[in-house]
Structure 1
Amino acid sequence: MSSDSKTPLLDQIITPDDLRALDESQLQQVAEELRAETIDAVSVTGGHLGAGLGVVELTVALHYLFDTPADRLIWDVGHQAYPHKILTGRRDRIRTLRQPGGLSGFTKRAESEYDPFGAAHSSTSISAGLGMAVARDLSEDKDNNVIAVIGDGALSAGMAYEAMNNAGAMDKRLIVILNDNDMSIAPPVGAISHYLARLTSSGTYLYLRDIVKQLAKRLPKGWERRAARAEEYTRNFWTGGTLFEELGFYYVGPIDGHNLEHLVPVLRNVRDAEQGPILVHCVTQKGKGYEPAENSADKYHGVSKFDVITGAMSKPKPNAPSYTKVFANSLIDEARRDDKIVAITAAMPSGTGLDLFGEEFPERTFDVGIAEQHGVTFAAGLATEGYRPFAAIYSTFLQRAYDQVVHDVAIQQLPVRFAIDRAGFVGADGPTHAGSFDVTYLSCLPGFVVMAAADEAELRHMVATAVQIDDRPSALRYPRGEGVGVEMPERGEPLDIGRGRVVREGNSVALLSFGARLQECLSAADQLSRHGLSTTVADARFAKPLDHDLIRRLVREHEVVVTIEEASVGGFGSHVLHFLAQDGLLDQGLKIRTLVLPDEFVDQGKPEQMYADHGLDARGIVRTVFSALGREMTPEDVGAAGQGDAG
């Protein structure tokens, strides 16, 4: 360690044991150094910034007071955990965050013993923590603490309340820390609320409370409950924790989550309490300690690489509009002509583009919080009354509402429109956010219309198409990132349901694309043509209903047919094979192959490389065709594949 190090205390900390060796008076300096290190690291890698900066002091206090990893510490959502990673033996790799082969942007069990539970989706910590607490109590040799830190909006999901209801009924020793950074659950805290929090968490208070309980038991019937209610309402009059108390938690707070002089004594009291489930309410500021992030919490929630001094992000100028923006502008255009169009987001207005829709139609835009289950059924209710709801939800998040999609939408044939963003690989966010399964889990549902946009112009047409589907549910999927730069139509035109299109004609090989791999198919066709393989390229547009006539034609007129999609097995290609088998077309010696996402969870990386690694780029498509024909690719073929014009 050099004498001029800007982080002299942090340099001494390899694991939390080193932190616990410091004097309590040094914790504030550790927090300041940890905040600076977090800012510097994320400026290099990009990632989630604001949430982590808001829990720096809390992270220091928790690792200082609790015996991690023996004490289980769960971060919910896991993107709050960058400071936690720095303190738990991963500082030397922190600048590999979200990079290929680097640290995950979320907590991950396979990465560290200090990550007892992976949490990239929200609102799971209390359920998991309760499971750990029960397992501890079933084991005779364990007496560890379980701490769930839930925040950054995660308490807006119903699963958290289901878990609290269960935990309160079981009366297990479990500590829940509510990181309240933007939900306005309570007013700003100060000295009085800190004093009350420290008082109500103290052993003396809990001891006196227990004495009152024992005395009340000796009083006539009914007085025990009256005494308990009197204590509860007196305390909650000051603290505002009635909801949590009703769920069976002992409530402490609110306390200033940035003041270590407040945090440490309260958390020490909570740690030492012989008590059932306890909830500690910490009020924090998202982006704390970095002015650009404090002034723009939404913008600095997730960032690209940025300049630490100015806060300016280094984003390359896009060559084409993002699919998300195309969706938003297309929906706005349709809504100007149709006042029955409404839009629903689950706490992702900017991520789905509905912030733009909301600026023009605030009365027709609904953010339901991190509550996809509710959001889907809410949309179903709107549909019953003649409205045209668009539920804009990331593919990976829609998984949480699958029963509602089936039971509340599909069975009732309600015309809810699902706009599914982040279809396919998503790069740095990794397997937890990859849109892999929606084609499979939606196209198996009777009556569903499932579309995928090949480019930004097609997405515009598919938004217009979804508006017109009034007799059944529909979904349109599109990837993360920019479009391909095609000419945009002035307005979307409804497509014929279940009809694909032929983009290029050939007579030897047929490439049938579903979704945004169409440009790679065109590049592959150029390369195949150089080898004398005249290639048809078709855009299926629909996974359900399938274009049977198009598929029959491709099968009958070509020696090899390859389907390509950015989705898991069981989706478009599987439905094509099922149709061919039912139609008797597999008995004619056809060479057919299906290219799908791999049957594995793929770690983060650059999307282009991820597709290449799994055979979903032009080179992989050419290789698949050669294999089907029993031909070997020469080194020259391998080098040339994927270099053809998109045409």
Structure 2
Amino acid sequence: MQKRLLDHIDFPSDLKLLNPDQLPQLAKELREFIIDIVATKEGHLGASLGVVELTIALHYVFNTPKDQLIWDVGHQAYGHKILTGRKDIFHTNRQHDGISGFPKRDESIYDTFGVGHSSTSISAALGMAIASQLKGEHRHHIAVIGDASIASGMAFEGLNHAGVTKANLLVILNDNAIGIDPSVGALKQYLTNVKKGKERQDNIFEALNFDYSGPIDGHDLPELISELERLKSVKGPKFLHVITTKGKGLKQAEDDQVKYHAPGKFDSVTGDLLPKSTIEQAPKFQDVFGHTIVELAKHNTSIVGITPAMPTGSSLKYMMEQIPERAFDVGIAEQHAVTLAAGMTTQGLTVFCNIYSTFLQRAYDQVIHDVALQNLPVIFCLDRSGLVGEDGATHHGIYDLAYLRCIPNMIIFAPRNEVELRNIMFTAQNGLEHPIAIRYPRGRGHTINWKQPFSEIEIGKGIQLKKGSTIAVLSVGSISHNVAEAIDMSKTNSMISHYDMRFVKPLDHKLLHHIFKTYKEIITIEDGVLIGGFGSSILEFASKNNYTVPVKTLGIPDTFIEHASIKQQHQSVKIDAENLSILFRSTALRQS
């Protein structure tokens, strides 16, 4: 029986002891290791399988971590983690107190730059390379970036700057024609032509003063090693075009690259996804959005949908399938998505711009300058708001309430359930006078019978969900479910009133005056940061109106919340049902 090479590889120094002809066997073992772990623990699969040979070649040729390696986004860095001291703990990937699903500086010296959002690698690597020049250090700096990420504006900004430097920078384009969904845009077609040998005369990367080489087969280890060795001696900015197959080595992952980007649990031998529960479940909020926009668009021909590279994740895919001429995937380009939406809105279109909350942060200036300043009624649908679980700190959508609340003209609504999401979408498409941000969580809701007849929501109107005598609990969004459960658990029903404020902006001032005049204590709860968030808005209201009723604010404290399940994250900041019930019970005892 052939011994397993991977058992003896803990760091790149061990890898370098192998003969080149042993590396294909190591690549096979590394793929099997990744598949076996991800099959049961879940995570990002296809991207890491696609770069196994490239990962081995980079650590074999370069002297990491002295030579600095940056993985754009980080979806593809599992092999890198396994070869750099984390093989024995890789099974803890993305779990509470385990290693991160993305490269992280405080996790390993081999993770030279923390990533999680796309298109940052070239700028970061160039910054490191220039710093090395200034300090008189000789080291290599390598940025590995995908064909979807390199189409983003920030990547081009980095390329544009790097081309006029003499920095020791190597940009490796991992070209597999897909990000999470298939790549889009003119650059995709250009790269396709390059692969077919049609665009060698006018090479865009050579025009930017890079020493270009490729395309080469990213699964051919001898060719990769030979070319990387050659590039070590080339001065200045270099560009290597590598062709890979996302999901390489697992047939299902190669055949269905979208589904196997992060497939959930699957059979590691057959590759088949494990069957889902047959029990009827409430829908994912993203699917409620996706089906509802199609329903609305079939009756309202002015409706268009926009997403930056997330048609599957946002479920805009349903509109792209049924009404393709009015649904746009603009690639990893959040700034462009927002201003494109603004431009369309000036011409009378009703634009639903669907962006993950964490990614709207990348287009903040456009939200202020191009949308709100001009008071254009763009409808922002912010998916994955609140704590998002295993993706961790880079992906939480916890800042949106705070960073949007300070913008003039902005309406902010957080539906507590799927029916409310449908109704606010229906309301928004009927002609609002201001832009609106609708933020909703990752995952499933709790309403089986969600597809109910539409009804309009009054802007700025909160509602009472439960009546009590002494304490008012004010919540926004889906955290309302935790609150309702906690009230039942606390056995203080008669004392606690529960209000869904719905709108963080504008606040329901009439309702708030009633609340402050009626109750002895007020508790606010939000799945967002406390500083500047919903609770802050209630404190501001109290101060402005000289109310002295005690107000306790609950939400995300001033710290980054690491990866774990959403339930564990709620527990860590004490907004889960059990911790809330303890708080409600102690507050009720104090007031009784």
Instruction: Give the TM-score, by structure 1 length.
Output: 0.86
Q: Deviations over 1:259-281 (max 9, x none)?
A: 112211111100122x2100100
Is 1:483 aligned to 2:442, yes or no?
A: no
- Pick aligned residue for 1:298 from 251, 258, 270: 258
Going from structure 1 to structure 2, the CA distance change for 1:240 and 1:418 (only over 3 Å counts) comes to farther
Q: What amino acid is aligned across from residue 240 of structure 2 in structure 1?
A: V
Equivalent of residue 371 in structure 1, options 320, 323, 333: 333
Aligned equivalents of 2:158 and 2:476: distance in 1? 40
The Cα shift of 1:486 comes to: 5.3
How far is the alpha carbon of 1:312 from its aligned partner? 2.6
Match of 1:12 in 2: 8
Output the CA distance in 1 between the equivalents of 2:120 and 2:62: 21
Q: 2:580 aligns with which of 621, 631, 638?
A: 621
Bigger shift: 552-561 or 611-620? 611-620
* Aligned CA distance change for structure 1 residues 481 and 238 (closer, same or farther; 3 Å): closer
Which of 149, 160, 169 pairs up with 2:144? 149
Alignment of 1:439-518 (within 5 A): 439-485=401-447, 487-518=449-480
Task: Give 2:50's aligned residue.
Answer: 54
Q: Which of these residues, 482, 485, 492, is aligned with residue 523 of structure 1?
A: 485
For the 8 Å contact 1:189–1:256, the answer to whether it is kept is no
Determine if contact 2:281/2:448 at 8 Å carries over to the other structure. Answer: no
Q: How does 1:470-619 map to 2 (within 5 A)?
A: 470-485=432-447, 487-528=449-490, 530-531=491-492, 533-569=494-530, 570-586=532-548, 590-619=549-578
Other structure's SS at 2:390 match: helix
Letter of the 1:254 partner, please give it. Answer: P
Using the TM superposition, give the Cα deviation of residue 89 of structure 1 relative to its aligned residue in structure 2, in angstroms. 1.0
Q: Which amino acid aligns with 1:354?
A: L
Partner residue of 2:191?
A: 186
3-state SS, counterpart of residue 528 of structure 2: coil
Q: CA deviation at 1:466?
A: 1.8
* SS in structure 2 of the partner of residue 427 of structure 1: coil
1:394 and 2:353 aligned? no
Give the distance between the partners of 1:95 and 1:625, measured in 2 at CA. 38
Contact 1:453-1:515 within 8 A present in 2 as well: yes
Note the C-alpha offset of 1:37. 1.2
Equivalent position amino acid for 1:556 in 2: K
SS of match in other structure, 1:131: helix
**2-side partners of 1:532 and 1:376: how far apart?**
44
Q: Which amino acid aligns with 2:112?
A: P
Partner of 1:29: 25
Find the partner of 2:227 among 244, 258, 266: 266
Residues 456/187 of structure 1: CA separation in 2 closer, same or farther (3 Å cut)? closer
Other structure's SS at 2:75 match: helix
Name the structure 1 match of 2:368: 406
Partner of 1:134: 130
Does the CA-based 8 Å contact 1:460-1:491 persist in structure 2?
no
What's the secondary structure of 2:328's corresponding residue?
strand
The gaps in structure 1 that reach 5 residues or longer are 194-236, 634-647
Q: Is the Cα contact below 8 Å between 1:463 and 1:492 reproduced in 2?
A: no
- 2:147–2:173 CA contact under 8 A, matched in 1: no
| AA aligned opposite 1:186 | L
Distance 2:588 2:492 in 1: 12
Deviation at 1:617, TM superposition (A): 1.9
Alignment of 1:82-231 (within 5 A): 82-140=78-136, 142-151=137-146, 153-182=148-177, 183=183, 184=188, 185-187=190-192
Aligned counterpart in structure 2 of residue 281 of structure 1, from 241, 252, 255: 241
The alignment's TM-score, normalised by the length of structure 2, stands at 0.94
User: Is the 8 Å Cα contact of residues 72 and 118 (structure 2) preserved in structure 1?
Assistant: yes
- The letter for the 2-side match of 1:172 is A
Aligned residues: 579
Instruction: Assess if the C-alpha contact under 8 Å between 2:214 and 2:240 holds in 1.
Output: yes
**CA displacement at 1:311 relative to structure 2:** 2.1
Determine if contact 2:57/2:221 at 8 Å carries over to the other structure: yes
The verdict on how the C-alpha distance between 1:77 and 1:152 changes in structure 2, with shifts beyond 3 A counting, is: farther
Distance 1:300 1:632 in 2: 53
SS of equivalent to 2:504:
strand
Q: 1:561 Cα deviation (Å)? A: 1.0
Deviation at 1:238, TM superposition (A): 6.5
Q: CA deviation at 1:622?
A: 3.4
Q: Does the 8 Å contact 1:239/1:254 carry over to 2?
A: no
**Alignment-derived partner of residue 220 in structure 1:** none
Distance 1:309 1:12 in 2: 24
1:76 is aligned to 2:81: no
Distance in 2 separating the partners of 1:469 and 1:596: 33
Native 8 Å contact 2:419 2:452 kept in 1:
no
Q: Is the 8 A contact 1:430 1:602 kept in 2?
A: yes
Instruction: Measure, in 2, the Cα distance between the counterparts of 1:391 and 1:554.
Output: 35
Q: Could you tell me how far 1:581 is from its partner in structure 2?
A: 1.0
Local SS of the residue matching 1:272? coil
Contact 1:452 1:477 in 2 (8 A): yes
Say if 1:180 and 1:281, in contact at 8 Å, map to a contact too: yes
Task: Provide the aligned C-alpha RMSD in A.
Answer: 2.0
3-state SS in 2 of match to 1:566? strand
- Asked if the contact 1:593–1:624 (Cα under 8 Å) also holds between the matched residues in 2, the reply is no
Question: C-alpha distance in 2, partners of 1:53/1:130?
Answer: 27
1:101 deviation in Å?
1.1
Q: CA deviation at 1:171?
A: 2.6
User: Which one-letter code corresponds to 2:394 in the other structure?
Assistant: T
Task: Report the 3-state secondary structure (helix = DSSP H, G, I; strand = E; otherwise coil) of the residue aligned with 1:478.
Answer: strand
**Residue identity in the other structure for 2:204:** L
Question: What's the secondary structure of 1:14's corresponding residue?
Answer: coil
Call closer, same or farther: CA 1:383–1:188 in 2, change over 3 Å.
closer
Q: Distance in 1 between matches of 2:286 and 2:370?
A: 26
- Note if contact 1:42-1:305 (Cα within 8 Å) is conserved in structure 2: yes
1:523, distance to aligned residue in structure 2 (A): 2.1
Q: Residues 82 and 90 of structure 2 are in contact (CA less than 8 Å); yes or no, is this contact kept in structure 1?
A: yes
| Closer, same or farther: CA 391–154 of 1 in aligned 2, 3 Å | same
Per the TM alignment, residue 632 of structure 1 is displaced from its structure 2 partner at its CA by 11
Q: Once the 2 structures are TM-superposed, how far is the Cα of residue 186 of structure 1 from its aligned partner?
A: 3.3
The answer on whether the counterparts of 2:495 and 2:588 sit within 8 Å (CA) in structure 1 is: no
Match for residue 415 of structure 1 among 377, 384, 389? 377
SS in 2 for 1:150: strand
Letter in 1 for 2:380: F
In 2, the alpha carbon distance for the partners of 1:395 and 1:264 equals 40
Aligned to 2:39: 43
Distance in 1 between the 2:248 and 2:201 partners?
24
C-alpha separation in 2, matches of 1:55 and 1:188: 22
Is 2:471–2:497's contact at 8 Å kept on the other side of the alignment? yes
